[in-house]
Amino acid sequence: MEHHRFKREDGIPEVDILGIHVHRVSSSDIQSIILKRIRENDRGVFLYVHLHSINLAQADDELRSMFNSATITYCDGEGVRIGARLLGHFLPERIPLTRWIYPFLDFCVLNTLSVYCIGTEERIIRRAIGVLCDRFPALKIAGFHDGFFHTDGERSAEVLRDIRNTRPDILIVGMGTPLQEFWVRDHWDELQAGCILTAGSCFDYIAGEKQACPPWMAEHGLEWLHRLIREPRRVWKRYLIGIPLFLWRILSQWSRMKFTRAD
């Protein structure tokens, strides 16, 4: 399958973490780039990475290529920041969309940007949209759709038609990795939206279907522990196996870098 190459943002420093090139950006940097792209009628795709998605990309060349060709690839999880530090790099902040979504939508309201949302079950996305309408009455919601559809089926075509008709400035796609990334890639030419952001399970949190991590845990990089406590059967492998595996891979990369410099 031909891989669509996105236009990578120039001039932004990048950090190599296990072959994934993560931009050294803040949330305000991302908002500035989005606004510039929309004003210049230049589309863009903005992807988050965390420990789990970087682990997935180690065994998936297409996912790794997707992360490395996105307009901006930004740090979502504390594990990525720790990995960067161990490799001698600095990332300014982690940007979890479950918390950033609210200042981001404030930014959309301020700049009169329309938003289309895709993700989760129909009842949950409807509840999430209701929450957002109450919190941001001036937000221009171009449309929304659940994320449970076959990515190449008729319902996918229906979503694409609706997006083409509404032409939102911002498209937020929450299907989980790697499904959301590949859907954006495969339908890039058909997606008539200014800038696209992946969102994972963000809408579940907005709707209250999932409980947000307490601030004190988030501040200490313990969101993974909160999710493990809340959803042990779903995420135990991601964290109890994934975290040691990630750290082992980081140490292996550090060792290779050290011996390369020694040579």
> Can you spell out the DSSP letters for the chain?
-PPPPP-PPTT--EEEETTEEEE---HHHHHHHHHHHHHTT--EEEEEE-HHHHHHHHT-HHHHHHHHHSSEEEE-SHHHHHHHHHTT---S----HHHHHHHHHHHHHHTT-EEEEEES-HHHHHHHHHHHHHH-TT-EEEEEE-S-S-TTSHHHHHHHHHHHHH--SEEEEES-TTHHHHHHHHTTTT---SEEEE-TTHHHHHTTSSPPPPHHHHHTT-HHHHHHHHSHHHHHIIIIIHHHHHHHHHHHHHHHHHHHHH-
Question: How confident is the model at residue 89, as a pLDDT?
Answer: 93
Question: How confident is the model at residue 108, as a pLDDT?
Answer: 98
User: Per-domain residue ranges for the chain?
Assistant: 14-219
Question: How confident is the model at residue 5, as a pLDDT?
Answer: 67
- Number of other CB atoms surrounding residue 59 within 10 Å: 8
Question: How confident is the model at residue 218, as a pLDDT?
Answer: 82
Question: How confident is the model at residue 220, as a pLDDT?
Answer: 80
Rounded CA separation 61/64 (Å): 5
User: At which residue do the structure tokens 């229906």 appear?
Assistant: 158
Q: Are strands 20-23 and 44-49 parallel, antiparallel or unpaired?
A: unpaired
CATH number (3.40.50, 3.30.70, 3.30.310, 3.10.290) of 14-219 reads 3.40.50
Q: What is the mean pLDDT of each run of 10 residues along the chain (263 residues)?
A: 69 96 97 96 96 96 96 95 94 93 98 97 97 97 92 84 96 96 94 95 96 85 88 91 95 83 58
- Global pTM reads 0.93
Q: Could you give the maximum distance between any two Cα atoms of the chain, in Å? A: 61
From residue 191, alpha-carbon distances to 19, 34, 254 in Å are 28, 16, 39
User: At which residue do the structure tokens 């938003």 appear?
Assistant: 115
Question: How confident is the model at residue 262, as a pLDDT?
Answer: 55
Question: How confident is the model at residue 4, as a pLDDT?
Answer: 52
Question: How confident is the model at residue 91, as a pLDDT?
Answer: 94
In angstroms, how far is CA 183 from the centroid of its own chain?
13
Decide if 166 contacts 116 (C-beta within 8 A). Answer: yes
